[in-house]
Structure 1
Amino acid sequence: MTSATVATRTTRTTRTVGAIGAVSWAVFVALLATSLTGALAPLGVPGLPDPGTITRVGLPVVQTLRDLGAMLTVGTLVLASTCVPPEPGDDEARITGVRARLVAVAQLGATAWVAMNGLLVALVYSDASGSAVGARGFLQEAIFFARSYELGQYLLWGAGLSAVVALGCATASRTATLGALTVVSLVALWPVALTGHAAGTLSHDEAVSLQMFHLVGIGVWGGGLVGLAFVGARLGPTLGTVARRYSTLAGWCAALVTVSGLAGAWIRVPDVASLVSSYGALLGLKLTAIVVLLLAGLWQRRSLLAQVAAGRTQSFWRLVVLEVLVLLTAAGLGVALGRTDPPEGDGASTTLTLTESLLGSPMPPGLDTAGWLTRWSPDALFLPVGLAALTWYLVAVRRLRRRGVPWPWLRTACWITGCVLFLWATNGAPATYGRVLFSMHMVQHMTIATAVPTFLVLGTPVTLALRTLKRRDDDSRGPREWLLQVVHSLPAQLLGHPIVASVLFVASMVAFYYSSLFGLSLETHTGHVLMTVHFVLAGYLFAECVVGADPGLTRPAYPLRALLVMVTFGFHALFSVSLMASTTVLARDWFEALDRDWGAPLPEDQYLGASLGWALGEYPLAVMAVALLVSWVHADRRERRRFDRSELREDDRQLRAYNDYLQSLSRQSTKPGASTMTVVSATDEDRSPE
């Protein structure tokens, strides 16, 4: 056996022992913190069944392993898809070398994620029902719980999505597939957020959204760091570049984790006095861990990355080990927080009305004229997204201008208008009253489906991004490369086809309102999020194929675009008229359960909503028609200028060919009395001055 083989085996053994030790440390922290809060002790309440030691101890252990599997999966996939270049001589479109190793690590994490989700179904049911694991009929009851109750369904969805990632990692061979798996892994964190320690608060929707941001940040940050530790020795001279890219990514994730964590704590802790509690103590310890990680990351960026670039990596790897341990500690504390009830605060009432339990907030007051602009309910998901989109665009435009590159002010104005309308629709009066009044729901829907996409498309964000994002020169894929991959991908071309985009825009609206999907969007936070994302994307694709100027999609000729707009909005008007004529109240059970004591009755409010839906579809149509006309005129002028330049270069070749053709027809005319065709000649004065 050669010395190289012995060294390789020793390295593998060290990594295996280190991985087992790291996982054991996270489990130990979770159990220790949970025991200190008393969550591992029996309930001791007469009349309430106790689930048993297996459930009390197994639940934090399995949840810790699930969270670590999710973190490892997300982080390694993001690292492989955005930071690591292919090895010299390899095809950049295929997964090979270090990236293949990272995908294998992600497959291991996703497999653990699936298995732990399956165990969590049984343990969560045992904990909720008080039925001991293995009791008579326990398996059938757990299956019924998973299929019939929201909490069990969330766990099943998490298991299904993580299983897709695991199978995808086992079969993936191309970089495009790697990007798709990365997106699916991030989406799979949503069920984790729904079942986390955010789910029990009154402000449920805000807490879940903040928890999602927290999980994304900690997953990319921690999982990427673990992945970097796994493949660091194989990166060779590219270690400095990969470490620098990961450090930038980790910096953004650290900010995301810090802000979302503080905002989530603000929601769960009602007052300062509540910090003196078991929950407050765990929250303080987790915040301390985050601060330590922030300081370590700052030290890494300021001094250690330069040492790595110079080939001195010992200090860097020692810091990586320290960061991993602190991250695992924070993960264990997060599990303990999920097993600890937040403090109620002084005088807090635990009794909720039916309206409060359905809405997650008190019934808003009656809507008046001023309320359209003064009523705001900040959405913890769409408010950051809208502000981030607006900030990115303005920063990108400023970067262009610093380089001396002009950018049309009208495009900037359109993007700002689209972002402001999006923020108003998802955080203003439509969001405040959208689940209480059908009319305001229709205002919100039509704004995000027609007005917002039209103005965003006229801002040409893809063109701006391609002009400002940095190009990679080592065949790795950064934001610019992935953007080009997406806009030229087969799904984008298929969904962006004019016929498909139009049918999707109209048919999805009909299917949404005349099925249970409308009620689902009112009753669940997930349904509302999916509704918003779907209609923004559907409207964006339709507007892009009609009035868009960004690269990627193949657009029809201008007369066909005009016909497409008229037909599509004609169907939209027909839908509004049919809804106005309908006597069936949509989602009647939901609106009646709210017991609203102000405003119009349900049938009148639905008629008003249909009327508003018809009216609010007209001004985006007008904007789109004007934009189409202007674009058509500009395209015609560009074509005329191109033709004139071509004729000047070729000395009027086409015109002379046409004259020769007319002369040949004149010579072939043999009938007596036949009219003589006039030969066209051209002078410099006849040419268009353009």
Structure 2
Amino acid sequence: MGEEVRTKAAARPSWPFYIAAVLVAAVLAGAVAQSFVGESLAALGIPDPGPATTFGLPAMRGAAWMLAALAVGSFLFSAFLIPPSARGEDLNGAALTVDGMVASRTGAWASAGLAVIGLAMIPLVLSDVSGQPLSTVFFSVGAWSTALNQVNDAQVWLVVAAFAAVVALCGLLATHWWPQVALLGGAVVTVMPLGLSGHSASGGNHDYGTNSFIWHLLCMVLWVGGLMALVAHGRRLGPHMGQAARRYSNIALFAFAGMLISGVVNAAVRVRFEDLTQYHYGWVLVAKVIGLLLLGGIGYWHRQVTIPKLATQPRAFTRLAAGEVILMAAVAGLAATLGRTPPPPPREVNLTQMQVQMGYNLTEPLTWTNWVTEWRFELLYSVMALLMAGYYLHLTRRVEGWKTSRTVWWLIGCATIVVTLSSGIGMHMPASYSAHMTVHMILSMGVPVALVLGAPLTLVREAYPAGEFNPRMWAESFQHSSFVRIVTYPPVSLVQFLVFFYVMYMFIPLYELLISEHAGHVIMNGVFMASGYFYFWELIGPDEIPGRSSAKVRLAWLWISMPIHLFMGVYLMQLNIVMAEDFYTTLALPWNPDLLADQKVGGGIAWASGSFPLVIVFGVLFWQWLAEDRAESRETDRIAEENDDEEWRRYNEMLSSYTRH
């Protein structure tokens, strides 16, 4: 779009637009929940705490979701939808433009508002579950203490408030491009605890419910927040509007599909189809789906009509998109009431302890055969792996002569994630220490080795043109960033690879906490893969790392680190205290396993299972060593030819001089 001259008369402020969206979500959520208040209180079996709670709690939840979306969308906008002001070969040290600063500050203030709401939700949640009026618990220090010690939702909102406060403070101080990427990650992490509570996190199949809800929340904040930021940019007639709109359009398409699919999965595991019209909960779901379909239609109209006309009719896009945001706010308000509306009877009433703790039942111990015959598709990291594989294959079609071996390695890594987490091994991970350790070793050593050999950053750099604000520039900026320089420094890389391993298994209460919660499994699996990726990326990754040590030095660091890593296996084989014994006992596994023996088997797996990845790592490092040696020899020969072997001649003259004397 051509640059437009911004004047006070033409540019429009965005804060009324933000307030309107937040109010629509809050008022609709409170009003719908209030209309079901009698049914809700009867289901909970508590007295009426008063309208300040019955209306206020869902209203605050709806407002929180919109503020979370605004924070994510604003940082998404300042990080990836418009370029910073001055940039060279990469974006390190690039300052934000005026529009980038406005978006960043908007995200910071939205996070501050979310932090305030998170704190206000603590007494609201206690009032809701206890039936006490809000005025009674709000000003009572003892009530706040009770809420934080005994009410899970209150603890979740405290975590949200803490994360949001940190993001808000950092956002108000940030003025450059790189912090925007970190703030986007922080804003996304802030809303993740909300995906681990509520109806989705309880009952049978709660692993499906929780993971699908995480996807639902992520897609919602990207879709809604990104559009809010884009509309605000259009209202102030900001530059690069066409590029930002087209880039957001791709994000919106993904988010719409993700919200629709994850919403269907989330509802299917908890609500029978025939119950949809028999309960208020079902009607809210139906209204939400209708709203999503309407939004999908508006998004299609944008792609086909308004975005192509941005250069000539920018206001047409802004007006339609503003109305779209208000509809999004209404859908978000409806969604916020679901956590307060009693759901229909569960699909399974008589749940076993395994279903309560894990979401599903196991009937026999893990064997060499049932790890391939038992399957339960994991909805979080397995879906990510499939998306990564698809994007990688898409990029390979844009690069001529891309090595097939790298593609094979990448696909092996992605397939290993799916098989590990979705097969019998992944199903037994919460119930068996030996299965847990098998998954740990595969995710931290096997998967990262395969993924780094796929050279994904090199592929991204070759698939996009140079000199533009695009994924190539983002990848190059990442490779030359201070973060990569620090995390790939051999001592730091070694420490980050080992510290979580030792801390988790030597501090037994931490292991018990992580293994007993679905959030713990999500965190552990993510840390395993991320930590292993950075460690092996520095050791053997084909991607460029500025200042990387020679292959000989990296091989030496591998010799130092592996015994330390494998020693933990020896420690576990000798440990005679059963870790997380209470949790494993409550599962009431029908085969009554010997927990200590299973733990010692897990220790043996930790000690021995790194052998196969190490063979590959040693092989790659040895090959790189030979390649470096050949390169040095060729360089030496070249210099000798250019200097007519002057160094050798001087050496011979020196020997002759010694002989004469």
Is the TM-score greater than 0.5? yes
Please tell me the residue identity of whatever aligns with 2:378.
D
Aligned to 1:681: none
- Structure 1 residues 491 and 338, CA gap change in structure 2 (3 angstroms): same
SS in 2 for 1:597: coil
CA drift at 1:134: 2.4
1:488 aligns with 2:480: yes
Match of 1:559 among 534, 549, 552: 552
CA drift at 1:511: 1.6
Match of 1:616 among 600, 606, 609: 609
Q: Which moved more, 1:631-640 or 1:159-168?
A: 631-640
1:386-401 alignment, distance < 5 Å: 386-400=385-399
Aligned to 1:626: 619
Contact 2:234 2:314 in 1 (8 A): no
1:286 aligns with 2:288: yes
Q: For each residue in 1:348-399, what CA deviation from the matched residue of structure 2 results, as whole angstroms up to 9, or x when unmatched?
A: 4534333322222223433333112122222221111111122222222232
Please tell me the residue identity of whatever aligns with 1:55.
T
Distance in structure 1 (CA, Å) of the matches to 2:551 and 2:8 = 64
CA drift at 1:538: 1.8
Q: For each residue in 1:86-113, what CA deviation from the matched residue of structure 2 results, as whole angstroms up to 9, or x when unmatched?
A: 4589998112311111122222211211
Aligned to 2:633: 640
1:574-585 alignment, distance < 5 Å: 574-585=567-578
SS in 2 for 1:173: coil
Q: Which moved more, 1:103-112 or 1:660-669?
A: 660-669
Aligned to 2:3: none
- Structure 1 residues 472 and 77, CA gap change in structure 2 (3 angstroms): farther
Please tell me the residue identity of whatever aligns with 1:124.
V
Distance in structure 2 (CA, Å) of the matches to 1:523 and 1:129 = 26
1:245 aligns with 2:247: yes
1:595-614 alignment, distance < 5 Å: 595-598=588-591, 600-614=593-607
1:71 aligns with 2:69: yes
Match of 1:429 among 424, 430, 437: 424
Contact 1:117 1:155 in 2 (8 A): yes
Distance in structure 2 (CA, Å) of the matches to 1:89 and 1:491 = 18
- Structure 1 residues 434 and 21, CA gap change in structure 2 (3 angstroms): closer
CA drift at 1:507: 3.4
Aligned to 2:458: 463
Q: Which moved more, 1:433-442 or 1:463-472?
A: 463-472
1:414 aligns with 2:406: no
% same residue: 28
CA drift at 1:599: 6.1
Match of 2:207 among 205, 208, 218: 205
Contact 1:364 1:433 in 2 (8 A): no
Distance in structure 2 (CA, Å) of the matches to 1:408 and 1:95 = 37
Contact 2:111 2:165 in 1 (8 A): yes
1:514 aligns with 2:506: yes
Distance in structure 1 (CA, Å) of the matches to 2:637 and 2:168 = 59
Aligned to 2:260: 258
Q: For each residue in 1:224-269, what CA deviation from the matched residue of structure 2 results, as whole angstroms up to 9, or x when unmatched?
A: 2122222214345532222222222222222222222222122222
SS in 1 for 2:41: coil
1:358 aligns with 2:353: no
Please tell me the residue identity of whatever aligns with 2:449.
T
Aligned to 1:81: 79
Distance in structure 1 (CA, Å) of the matches to 2:183 and 2:554 = 35
CA drift at 1:665: 3.9
1:61 aligns with 2:59: yes
Q: Which moved more, 1:46-55 or 1:445-454?
A: 46-55
Distance in structure 1 (CA, Å) of the matches to 2:429 and 2:543 = 33
1:116-195 alignment, distance < 5 Å: 116-135=117-136, 138-195=140-197
SS in 2 for 1:595: coil
- Structure 1 residues 24 and 410, CA gap change in structure 2 (3 angstroms): closer
CA drift at 1:195: 3.2
**Long gaps (5+) in structure 1:** 1-6, 672-690
Contact 1:62 1:116 in 2 (8 A): yes
C-alpha RMSD of the superposition: 2.6
Q: For each residue in 1:375-424, what CA deviation from the matched residue of structure 2 results, as whole angstroms up to 9, or x when unmatched?
A: 22222211111111222222222322xxxx21222222222222222212
Aligned to 1:679: none
Structure (1 or 2) with the larger CA radius of gyration = 1
Please tell me the residue identity of whatever aligns with 1:180.
A
Distance in structure 2 (CA, Å) of the matches to 1:547 and 1:626 = 10
Contact 1:49 1:130 in 2 (8 A): yes
SS in 1 for 2:649: helix
Match of 2:652 among 659, 662, 685: 662
SS in 2 for 1:198: helix
Please tell me the residue identity of whatever aligns with 2:309.
Q
1:74-113 alignment, distance < 5 Å: 74-86=72-84, 93-113=94-114
Aligned to 1:438: 433
- Structure 1 residues 591 and 553, CA gap change in structure 2 (3 angstroms): farther
CA drift at 1:612: 2.1
- Structure 1 residues 49 and 233, CA gap change in structure 2 (3 angstroms): closer
Contact 2:11 2:236 in 1 (8 A): no
- Structure 1 residues 482 and 201, CA gap change in structure 2 (3 angstroms): farther
Aligned to 2:496: 504
- Structure 1 residues 486 and 285, CA gap change in structure 2 (3 angstroms): same
CA drift at 1:149: 4.0
Q: For each residue in 1:423-450, what CA deviation from the matched residue of structure 2 results, as whole angstroms up to 9, or x when unmatched?
A: 1222222211111111111111111111
Q: For each residue in 1:539-575, what CA deviation from the matched residue of structure 2 results, as whole angstroms up to 9, or x when unmatched?
A: 1222122222211253323333222222222223322
Distance in structure 1 (CA, Å) of the matches to 2:343 and 2:471 = 39
Contact 1:411 1:459 in 2 (8 A): yes
Distance in structure 1 (CA, Å) of the matches to 2:439 and 2:421 = 7
Aligned to 1:447: 442
- Structure 1 residues 506 and 129, CA gap change in structure 2 (3 angstroms): same
Distance in structure 2 (CA, Å) of the matches to 1:361 and 1:178 = 40
Contact 2:126 2:147 in 1 (8 A): yes
Distance in structure 2 (CA, Å) of the matches to 1:547 and 1:10 = 55
* Aligned length, in residue pairs: 650
Distance in structure 2 (CA, Å) of the matches to 1:582 and 1:543 = 29
Match of 2:540 among 526, 544, 547: 547
Aligned to 2:4: none
Q: Which moved more, 1:115-124 or 1:25-34?
A: 25-34
Contact 2:49 2:132 in 1 (8 A): yes
Contact 1:221 1:249 in 2 (8 A): yes
CA drift at 1:669: 4.0
Contact 1:197 1:339 in 2 (8 A): no
Please tell me the residue identity of whatever aligns with 2:628.
A
Contact 1:107 1:170 in 2 (8 A): yes
- Structure 1 residues 49 and 28, CA gap change in structure 2 (3 angstroms): closer
Distance in structure 2 (CA, Å) of the matches to 1:543 and 1:497 = 12
Distance in structure 1 (CA, Å) of the matches to 2:222 and 2:465 = 21
Q: Which moved more, 1:244-253 or 1:592-601?
A: 592-601
Task: Give the TM-score taking structure 2 as reference length.
Answer: 0.92
Q: Which moved more, 1:103-112 or 1:52-61?
A: 103-112
Aligned to 1:304: 306
- Structure 1 residues 324 and 369, CA gap change in structure 2 (3 angstroms): same
Q: For each residue in 1:472-500, what CA deviation from the matched residue of structure 2 results, as whole angstroms up to 9, or x when unmatched?
A: 63xx4x43333233332222222211122
SS in 2 for 1:135: helix
CA drift at 1:314: 3.5
Contact 2:216 2:263 in 1 (8 A): yes
Distance in structure 2 (CA, Å) of the matches to 1:42 and 1:657 = 90
Distance in structure 1 (CA, Å) of the matches to 2:78 and 2:44 = 53
Please tell me the residue identity of whatever aligns with 1:56.
T
